[in-house]
Structure 1
């Protein structure tokens, strides 16, 4: 590691990364309440989930080049301020259009933490240490899927769904203050890149032609898309089909978050003995298996809660191994292109999440089949991308890369 990351940095970077799961997971228990309050059609509230990811996708593609030109901190200032203001505006939403619109702007602002965290770690760490540091950051970020639904359910029960977005606004402002006080600029003068549209587009085009980068990018993106489909579809499946109380939803959702947290720390230990590319290839069997289990159970009419929870747990836990290893390997050769590479990595990942959410909303048929189909298809695509683009069936066990 070229420069050590202080504990305060790790906590702050984890909090910045946690903005995304908090923004999606905290309001999941409120889906039925928002639907009733705004008089939405079935599946309507899921569009606000997808609009957030549209904003994330567009924002990331902009923040990457901007951060390579002006540094990591200025985009963080802008994004966190926009995120906080949009969160406050959602409290006043009175229609689907306003909810979707403000969630879009919330996504544009909130994504700055996700994309720039990866760039900052790449600025500070040697390639072989990046996966370990990202796994440590996931120890902080991994608390969000556990605590966010629990907190959202409690806020919903006591103060209503609007309180959830007030808390998100406060969290965004707290992160903004912490960035100002604790975070040093990590982009050095010799690595500043010019900001011209044609040049930026050529940099993105070069990444699209990099087979290795694409292999790791798509492995992560498809697997994360399966998880985001679970996030978008699980409220209906668990609350409506399984009859779980909204106040208890966080307990079921948090259990899967614990799996993600533990898997990320187990991955950090495994990196002492095995390469990140090998661990990624092995972990991609998990979303493939989880999707096959959920789809088979749905088609066979075996809609038991334990079976559903097993599939969900395996899927979410796998992300704790897939994301840090895929991100680290994708960024290995992108030292002078870290902002753009991190932006493309994040935008594609969240773009898959957006597509998963859109599919869940549009294919809504009153059953769990759309969710099972989405998880199965995306889990299979992640496995195939890794095998076809990287040929990882030939990867041998070995020391850390």
Structure 2
């Protein structure tokens, strides 16, 4: 068993969090092809992305309170087992409806890793070092979306689309083994809370009424929704509109993910000097500038593949700076209900992102315009929530 504060534990927890991006990014290059495989429409195929986030969202409301009562490790392991079996179900799917159902179940399992890994980081590293540890975990986790689309693109060239889910099954098994034998339980006995429904509702209510928590949560949710707008729209923009080969399309997601990695590294470097809010403010400027730079050419009906890629990289730098810091800011004040706070943050983030993804699919015009408008809007809303909710509350204190 590794020591709780060791880098090895952070790496394993980051690998558990990576189940989420791996489950979406790996099969992004195969999305356009699934319309032919299942004889269905683009918006129906995009439901397999959005339903994943909806499942992710609602499961988090359960994981948090359960983990606050029974501990992080057993609840995470239950989710991993569900993830493994639902990934096998995705492999066996013969219709788009079956794939949608198993994607929903896959999300129910995968979200345990994401919710409880960041909760365990807060347990282990405390309020002072949580932001730094989450940024470090984010940097490690960023390797997943860099590598996953490239692997996914080549896998659909060499094998069938089901190969991505076979990979995810094997990955889930390996993570489960590591959690069982190498990661200690992080919740102490004195911090375990009640499963009384009224207590849980009271905890959720206190979080919803807290402007600082909601400010960080909404800022994190909107910036992530801009990323999800890119994930939802880019396969059809890059492959269908610009005509880029599907097997090579993963390079664009990888390049964008390098922007996220850059953002997390910047956050680690300047975090001790400017603090959580200073990092978020600077990251928001990156995101807003990138969104506007992507939006203006799109509205002028000027579409360029490399300009789209460049502006998305800049946006992703903002995402990498904002998300770990906003998560830490939202969780730090609530040591006794960290799991509940983490689950509500994740629920809000997933619902907003899933709805955004469905709207991008519904209003997709065949050009990058819908995607560009959405990314610019999400970056602006992220900054607005931070300015209107977090900064006034911090100033009063």
Unaligned runs of 5+ in 2: none
The RMSD of aligned alpha carbons is 1.5
Query: How far apart are residue 149 of structure 1 and its match?
Result: 0.3
Query: How far apart are residue 43 of structure 1 and its match?
Result: 2.2
2:157 matches 1:157: yes
C-alpha distance in 2 between matches for 1:374 and 1:367: 13
C-alpha distance in 1 between matches for 2:367 and 2:306: 17
Query: How far apart are residue 356 of structure 1 and its match?
Result: 1.5
Instruction: Report the equivalent of 2:30.
Output: 30
Could you say what secondary structure the match of 1:60 adopts? Answer: helix
Unaligned runs of 5+ in 1: 396-401
2:58 matches 1:58: yes
Query: How far apart are residue 393 of structure 1 and its match?
Result: 12
Contact 2:4 2:183 survives alignment (8 Å): no
Instruction: Report the equivalent of 1:330.
Output: 330
Instruction: Report the equivalent of 1:346.
Output: 346
Instruction: Report the equivalent of 2:176.
Output: 176
- Of 247-256 and 360-369, more deviation after overlay is shown by 360-369
C-alpha distance in 1 between matches for 2:338 and 2:330: 10
Instruction: Report the equivalent of 2:257.
Output: 257
Contact 2:287 2:317 survives alignment (8 Å): no
Instruction: Report the equivalent of 1:15.
Output: 15
C-alpha distance in 2 between matches for 1:372 and 1:388: 24
Instruction: Report the equivalent of 1:388.
Output: 388
Contact 1:278 1:392 survives alignment (8 Å): no
Deviations 1:30-86 (A, max 9, x none): 012211101111222111000000110011110000000000011111100111111
TM-score by length of 1: 0.95
Contact 1:359 1:374 survives alignment (8 Å): no
Deviations 1:155-205 (A, max 9, x none): 111111000001011111111111101111111111110102221111111
Instruction: Report the equivalent of 2:143.
Output: 143
Query: How far apart are residue 289 of structure 1 and its match?
Result: 1.8
Instruction: Report the equivalent of 1:398.
Output: none
Query: How far apart are residue 112 of structure 1 and its match?
Result: 0.5
The aligned length equals 393
C-alpha distance in 1 between matches for 2:40 and 2:51: 16
Query: How far apart are residue 297 of structure 1 and its match?
Result: 1.2
Could you say what secondary structure the match of 1:292 adopts? Answer: helix
2:171 matches 1:167: no
Deviations 1:290-348 (A, max 9, x none): 22122211110110112111221111221111011111111121111100001111111
Instruction: Report the equivalent of 1:399.
Output: none
Instruction: Report the equivalent of 1:298.
Output: 298
Could you say what secondary structure the match of 1:271 adopts? Answer: helix
Query: How far apart are residue 394 of structure 1 and its match?
Result: 9.1
Instruction: Report the equivalent of 1:117.
Output: 117
C-alpha distance in 1 between matches for 2:94 and 2:369: 31
Q: Matches of residues 172-211 of structure 1 in structure 2 within 5 Å? A: 172-211=172-211
